Structure 1
């Protein structure tokens, strides 16, 4: 298996036209929402940063980095960041946010990662694994690029998360499973 060595000065590689994905078409709007929405800005990202703990000097791969808000938070805490995402447009936004303080690469997480064995102290995968059909090869690749004793810090979207924060109105209703399991889910907070 041929792997590209870890090179922090390498710029993001543009996606080939056949590799472009849906996120390229709405990257700016998605990134703006992600920076400020309740789940990402006030729950998920702070939780991932807290789980990462003391990261000063650690080499961290942000797998599925998008526009780079988690990478920026970890960089600000002293980590040496690399990121990979399938969307060239999301990576362009990450480059604007991170400048040359992170190695960013276009890549599909279902393919071999373009990094050397043991290149990272940590891999973070925030709200990305649930997009993959088969996690096995991806998790194996994440393990490969982690140094011995390295950490994988991952989170996935709860299947009912989108419904739970939705306020049912005249045209929406809570799915029966949510109504049974959590009667207050989807109701306005008091």
Structure 2
């Protein structure tokens, strides 16, 4: 009868332990994300905050009300988005100068339209809600559109990815499958040795 393959067993058990560890970590991340989403949900009832002059993702005031004084529109970008009625089209984001040339300025979702053409808005005060932005950490979604645009869909916590629980299940399944394959291979090895 063949002995237990020591090196193979150690490798498999180490891999399974790593996968279980990753699954537990994802469960902890799921708890953290749920707490964060609860904070975001409560943000709409909080007082308005100053728009971040140098936005950082850690502790960003997402879903808080704020105001931006867009001194000058330096450029536009159109991204796929929805209006307040849920229709698909283009959200128009202005890159605004907010001070004497210092700092990154502000990203302002001025409104929505069916066309991707740049609006003619030159700037001004905008009230809105701070939302995540894939390129600039934060952006302000205007509560009232400007330049003849329609109102964009308000930011929602439903748009914040929260798939840590699914990842945890995935890692635990990988660990279980690895163990099953290992035990099947071990059984075949032992069975083959017995017949010999």
User: What TM-score does the superposition give when structure 1 sets the normalisation length?
Assistant: 0.22
Higher relative contact order, structure no. (Cα contacts within 8 Å, ≥ 6 residues apart): 2
Larger-Rg structure = 2
User: What TM-score does the superposition give when structure 2 sets the normalisation length?
Assistant: 0.22
**Higher strand proportion (structure 1 or 2):** 2
